[in-house]
Amino acid sequence: ALTKSDKVPDVEGLASLFDMFRMQTAKAPQFKHPNLCIDVVQHGLKHGPAAGLQKEQEVFRATVASEVCKSLVHIFLARNGTARVKGIT
């Protein structure tokens, strides 16, 4: 699947689409991960699937250690943990 490229559109033609995505993510500047995802997809389309996967690994390793990620995981676990407490939900 990493070698097929017959259905991959031209990256230069998608520049305006990526710009539109970045404008939408600017509405929530406190979150960095949407822009990082856009960067990874754009990098993969421009440099090939293997390079995109490598970039995804790098970004994931950097992001998973961030304070925002830790906070989001904490909120998720706290919210789902309260669903299991009898008499609260």
- Residue bearing the bigger pLDDT, 25 or 9: 25
In single-letter form, the type of residue at position 63 comes to T
Predicted confidence (pLDDT) at residue 28 exceeds the cutoff of 80: yes
Higher per-residue pLDDT: 42 or 12: 42
Mean pLDDT of 67-72: 87
Cα–Cα distances in angstroms (integers) from residue 89 to residues 13, 74, 75, 77, 85, in the given order: 50, 19, 17, 15, 7
Question: Mean pLDDT in the chain?
Answer: 84
pLDDT confidence tier of residue 88, bands split at 50, 70 and 90: low
The pTM assigned to this predicted structure is: 0.71
Indicate if the pLDDT at residue 45 is higher than 90: no
